[in-house]
Structure 1
Amino acid sequence: MQDIRDAILSGDRTEQTYAALPLPATYRGVTVHKDEVDLFEGLETRDKDPRRSLHVDDVPLPELAPGEALVAVMASAINYNTVWTSIFEPVSTFGFLERYGRTSEYAKRHDLPYHVVGSDLAGVVLRTGPGVRKWKPGEEVVAHCLSVELEDADGHNDTMLDPQQRIWGFETNFGGLAELAIVKTNQLMPKPAHLTWEEAASPGLVNSTAYRQLISRNGAGMKLGDVVLVWGASGGLGSYATQMALAGGATPVCVVSSPDKADICRSLGAELVIDRNAEGYRFWSDPTTQDPREWKRFGARIRELTGGKDPDIVFEHPGRETFGASTYVARKGGTIVTCASTSGYMHEYDNRYLWMNLKRVIGSHFANYREAWEANDLVNRGLIHPTLSKTYAMEEVGQAAYDVHRNLHQGKVGVLTLAPEAGLGVTDQEKRARHLEAINRFRNT
């Protein structure tokens, strides 16, 4: 691994150099173990600690399949799917690997007693499998996390509808929280040259998810002038949704949980911010009963900020805790678009406010390759910026996931894998200088 690291740090990107590098028999990766799936049995979700279940192990390097690339990973990032994996909720990811392993000879590689996790990366291509034309060893890349087979007709209009669609590093093995990773080459995208490795690794999953959810015709299809309610507006997903709303001429109403998070949203350019803890919103009067009076109070607060307008779009991802309020506050004919349920999957809402007011609920899950490519291009062009707040060493990944699990973070949390330190990997310093303030906005928050 040291030879690979040295080659990358040298700046040499010739195909011959990387094609000639010997590959190690093993590499270090962040794993969960199949024999620990009952580790947290009997504990509440909040009390399950990723620091106990995430390990850094030496694992064998798998065979490369046709259409795949082996990438030397310089940095990765924490997403909520890694938290779910680490606490074995809502199900153990080993069920995903077992089912995938039954689909083909190459898929059998994924069904292992350990799961190398992680759905983001920035790094350099080392090898490509048979049949690969577009990508070569030595190219600097980031990866989106859609793994898709495309053998069924359903996937050819929108690859997210493919029956064999999976999220790499969550529903497949050999993920990005590792020194090496295996991806399909149609997951690869160019690394933005003005970003460090850890900055470039951090947008992938959340930026693409927010793009489809908010901008794409497959999601809410946001337009100029829309009022967009963004839950968790300083977090991993919300920070990108807030940037997109502002860049697209919409008006974000940012919902956060602390004054520091409110300040972050204002620094992005958002003017309308609700600190729901400071204003005391309690949408549930007890664990089984919602309080519609709080929905109404929340809706009145939104109208107060917007000059009487209700949200055209509600950018939903907390799930159970907020979904009733989201359905209520969306304008007549408005859209609630949801991509996650970090506070619980069993949503409850008053359907009268949906059907009688002609509102729509849209489910949105990650993004297809085109959407991910467009989202990455926004970063490359400096229209959207990373929201990286803190970077950990790979040995500290349990703490990084714990911080995300307990909502102790802002924006995105990065993890260095092969990169020996933060701040490396920039090849366009002039472009970086033009955007440096925006790139650093979430740091030390």
Structure 2
Amino acid sequence: MQNILDAILSGNAETGDYANLDLPEHFRAVTVHKDEVEMFEGVPSKDKDPRKSLHVEDVALPELGPGEAFVAVMASAINYNTVWTSIFEPVSTFGFLERYGRLSPLTKRHDLPYHIVGSDLSGVVVATGPGVTKWKPGDRVVAHCLSVELEASDGHDDTMMDPEQRIWGFETNFGGLAEIAMVKANQLMPKPEHLTWEEAASPGLVNCTAYRQLVSKNGGNMKQGDNVLIWGASGGLGGFATQYALNGGATPICVVSNEEKANICRSMGAELIINRAEEDWKFWDESGTKQNPKEWQRLGKKIRELTGGEDIDIVFEHPGRETFGASVYVTRKGGTITTCASTTGFMHEYDNRYLWMNLKRIVSSHFANYRESWEANRLVAKAKIHPTLSRTYGLEDVGQAALDVHHNAHQGKVGVLALAPEEGLGVLDHDLRDQHLDAINRFRGV
């Protein structure tokens, strides 16, 4: 790997130089093991420790197929899907790899006794497979995590509808928490050059997800003037949703859990803040089996106090079970609840009278198609939307990084250095960076 890293750090290696590099037979990667899927049997979810299940080890370089690329990974990041993979919830990801492996001899490469995880990266293309024309060795890139086959007609209007749509590094192998990642060439996008490697890697999954869920016609189709309720408004997803609301002329109503997070939202330009710690809502009884509509009403009253009597046009929903009943209730007549993720539980409950009789819509949203991802990355590259990176770990400490996210002991995104020897490298556009340095560093140290 050293010859690859030397070429990247030199700053003057060209396409031919990268094309002539010898690729290693093995590389370091973060994995979970198939023979350990029962290791947390009987352990409560919150007590399952990713440090025990995530391994940093040498793995064999796979064969590169048509339409694919190898990327030397300078940095990656932690998402909830890596946490779910590491604790084998809600299911083991090896079932995904087995099913993918049955499609063809090419996809069989993914069905291994180990799973290389990670759905974000920034780095440099070091090899391309047959048929790749847009990208070449030496290109500095980030990757979105949508993997599609597009052999069926379903995905040719919206690639997220492809029957073989998967999330790279979660439902496929050879993910971004590694020194080398294997991606489809249509996952690649230009690296925002005013950002460091770790900053550029961090928006990825959550930025594209937030764009589709809130902005795209496939999600909330947000317009100027909309009141947008954003749960976890300073978090990984919510931090981008807040920026998109402000950037698009909407009014975010930011729900956070403490004053420090409220100040992050204010620093982005949000003015309407609800601190959950102060409100102490009890949407569910102590047994967690029955909801309290009076608490929904109390939330609605608080929102109208902030908005001057207006209700919510769009709810940016991702906590799931804990908040979903309240989200449906507080949305205005004809409004929209956009939902993904469900980090507090997948089994949602709500009173359908408030949905059906008031003509509200629930819109499901899952990641983003290539065009939506490209637009989201373009806004980052233009410094219209900024990273939410708060802390960066080395690859050897990825278990602790995942534990931070698992226990919500983090803010924004947690980055992971792969080949990059230290933070702060990779910036080419220093003038643009200097103009937006405070916004780029907004989440740092929080």
Bigger Cα displacement from structure 2, 141-150 vs 263-272: 263-272
Superposition pairs of residues 35-434 of structure 1, within 5 angstroms: 35-286=35-286, 287-434=288-435
The runs of at least 4 consecutive aligned structure 1 residues that moved more than 4 Å come to none
Offset at residue 13 of structure 1 (A): 3.9
Aligned partners of 2:264 and 2:396: how far apart in 1? 29
Aligned partners of 1:298 and 1:335: how far apart in 2? 17
Give the residue type in structure 1 aligned to 2:200: A
Aligned partners of 1:257 and 1:405: how far apart in 2? 16
* Preserved contact between residue 13 and residue 139 of structure 1 (Cα < 8 Å): no
Aligned partners of 1:4 and 1:375: how far apart in 2? 29
* Secondary structure, counterpart of 1:375 in structure 2: helix
Aligned partners of 1:273 and 1:368: how far apart in 2? 31
Offset at residue 355 of structure 1 (A): 0.2
Aligned partners of 1:329 and 1:405: how far apart in 2? 29
Give the residue type in structure 2 aligned to 1:254: C
Give the residue type in structure 1 aligned to 2:163: P
Aligned partners of 2:309 and 2:406: how far apart in 1? 36
* Preserved contact between residue 15 and residue 138 of structure 1 (Cα < 8 Å): yes
Aligned partners of 1:398 and 1:201: how far apart in 2? 18
* Secondary structure, counterpart of 2:438 in structure 1: helix
Offset at residue 242 of structure 1 (A): 0.1
Offset at residue 335 of structure 1 (A): 0.2
Query: Over residues 83-121 of structure 1, what are the superposed CA-to-partner deviations in whole Å (9 max), with x where a residue is unaligned?
Result: 110110110000000000000111000000000000000
Aligned partners of 2:115 and 2:257: how far apart in 1? 33
Aligned partners of 1:237 and 1:321: how far apart in 2? 17
Offset at residue 202 of structure 1 (A): 0.3
* Preserved contact between residue 319 and residue 347 of structure 1 (Cα < 8 Å): yes
Aligned partners of 1:436 and 1:270: how far apart in 2? 19
Offset at residue 9 of structure 1 (A): 0.6
* Secondary structure, counterpart of 1:229 in structure 2: strand
Q: How many correspondences in the alignment?
A: 445
Q: CA RMSD in A?
A: 0.6
Offset at residue 278 of structure 1 (A): 2.0
Offset at residue 51 of structure 1 (A): 1.1
Aligned partners of 1:14 and 1:101: how far apart in 2? 36
Aligned partners of 2:222 and 2:26: how far apart in 1? 46
Offset at residue 288 of structure 1 (A): 0.6
TM-score by length of structure 1 reads 0.99
Aligned partners of 2:36 and 2:278: how far apart in 1? 39
Offset at residue 47 of structure 1 (A): 1.2
* Preserved contact between residue 387 and residue 412 of structure 1 (Cα < 8 Å): yes
Unaligned runs of 5+ in 1: none
* Preserved contact between residue 389 and residue 409 of structure 1 (Cα < 8 Å): yes
Query: Over residues 144-175 of structure 1, what are the superposed CA-to-partner deviations in whole Å (9 max), with x where a residue is unaligned?
Result: 00000000000000000000000000000000
* Secondary structure, counterpart of 2:380 in structure 1: helix
Aligned partners of 1:177 and 1:333: how far apart in 2? 42
Unaligned runs of 5+ in 2: none
Offset at residue 249 of structure 1 (A): 0.4
Offset at residue 339 of structure 1 (A): 1.2
Aligned partners of 1:23 and 1:350: how far apart in 2? 57
* Secondary structure, counterpart of 2:333 in structure 1: coil
TM-score by length of structure 2 reads 0.99
